[in-house]
Structures are given as C-alpha cells and as structure tokens.
Structure 1
C-alpha cells in the first residue's frame, strides 16, 4: 500500500481502479494516507471516484461480454448463488447500483448489471454517485477528525 501512496494521485487512481475489481485492495487506506499528507481533498475525491468507476465499468464490460460460466468461475459463485444475485438485482432494481461501493457485494453487482444489460448511462450515473458520496464522506471525516 505504501508503494501506491508514494505515487500520489496516480497511486490513488490505480488503487481505486483495482479495488473496484475482485482484487483485495483498499483505496480508502491510500486516500487516507494522501489526505494526511496534505494533498488536495477535492482532487483526491475526484481521482478516487474516477478510478473506482472505471474499475466498475470494467466489471460491467466483463458481465456484458463474457459467458455466464466464465463469470461464475471468476466470481467463485455456484449456479444457485448466481441466480440469487440476479434475483436480488432485479428485486431492488437500478437503485441498488448506488451501493456498488459496498465491499463483497459491489463487484458482483456491477458484473450482474453487465450481464443484465443495464442501460450504460444509468449504470455510470448511479455507480458514480454512490462512489463519489462514499469518498466525499470519508474525506470529510478524515479532514474534520
């Protein structure tokens, strides 16, 4: 993680992008370290949001173009778990994309959105809003605390 902090904004972008995939990486730790190093909070929130949304778009693309079998293997989901995930997405609808930032459920959620061919504009708007709010709130808490 320290390696990414050394690269400042670029390191945060990489951490945020990779954290939106199935890789176990915490962009929040990099964001926190950079905020404590007095980098611009506004720029950090913007960079983290853009990187994380692009990572989610990668997941969407995988869901859109890859086969269901490959997706299940990649997400390590059984057929039953996969069907449940699709049902949950359909039950809660597009607004569930506001929670694409939530650990464990966020990455599969963005892949399922691709599989279900969710409108790309709505996907980008909702995922971006949720991820921006998360980083904004986190940065505000760190700065004020």
Structure 2
C-alpha cells in the first residue's frame, strides 16, 4: 500500500509547478512487480488532483491581476487568454505534456474553466499517458 500512496504523492507533485518525474517512479514500481492497475489508478488520480492545484492557483491569482507584484503583464495575460480562447478547453487533453502541460492547467484556472470540465479532460489525458507508459513498460520489462 505504501508504494501506491508514494506514487500518488509523486504524481501529485509532478502535476504541480514543482518539477518531478512520476514516470520514473511508475516504471520502477512496475519492475518490482506491483499491480499495474493500482499503479495506473494511483498515478492518474494523483496527477489529476495535482493539476487541480494549478487550476486553483490560476483562479485565485487572477484576483490580483492589477497588483504591482502580479507575475504576468496585462498584455501577456491577454495574449494567453486569446491563445486559450483560440484552442479552447480541448487543449486540456494535452495537459500531460512534459513541456507546457502544467501551464495549460494554470491558464485554465485563470480562464475560469469549470472544474468539472477541467477534471474530466485532464483526467482523460493524464490517464491515457500512464496507460501508454504501462503498456510500453510491459514490452520492455
């Protein structure tokens, strides 16, 4: 049980703005004979809930967009908003990408995407990624 909870935690951290690599932990646990289905569930749930943290940060941070310390210039914020409106919520299916995926979840919060829609799309993308890693690991191990 500790292995699955650890993978959940690592996957959770990997989905936030903190750099972490849950795939390495997943493959390592697969190699030691842990149940692939429970690993998939732990990693998918942890990574999806970690993305919710980014969504909440984006949503909360937007309240301070006119403050001097706001991390984005208003012009940058409008550019991000225009990009997001162009590609829409379906871009959240790409939230699993190592480069830019976490930013998508943060921007989704800033764009006030409904949490239910956010969680479904992010969960699908991230769950498919972990399923692919497990399938490929089965071929390698």
Confirm or deny a common fold (TM above 0.5). Answer: yes
| 1:143 and 2:138 correspond | yes
| 1:129 and 2:124 correspond | yes
Please give the per-residue CA displacement for 1:18-55, whole angstroms capped at 9, x wherever unaligned.
00011110000000100001101011011000000000
Q: How many equivalent pairs are there?
A: 136
Normalising by structure 1, what TM-score? 0.85
Normalising by structure 2, what TM-score? 0.87
| 1:93 and 2:110 correspond | no
Runs of at least 5 residues in structure 2 that lack an aligned partner in the other structure: none
Following TM superposition, by how much is the alpha carbon of 1:72 offset from its aligned partner in structure 2, in angstroms? 5.7
Runs of 4+ in 1 over 6 A off after TM superposition: none
Q: Which of 8, 14, 17 is the matching residue for 1:13?
A: 8
What is the SS of the residue equivalent to 1:117? coil
Kept in 2: contact 1:63–1:71 (CA 8 A): no
Tell me what 1:43 maps to: 38
Q: What is the root-mean-square deviation of aligned Cα atoms in Å? A: 2.0
Following TM superposition, by how much is the alpha carbon of 1:102 offset from its aligned partner in structure 2, in angstroms? 0.7
In 1, distance between residues paired with 2:75 and 2:13?
Answer: 27
Tell me what 1:34 maps to: 29
Please give the per-residue CA displacement for 1:65-91, whole angstroms capped at 9, x wherever unaligned.
223369963xxx555544333222111
Runs of at least 5 residues in structure 1 that lack an aligned partner in the other structure: 1-6
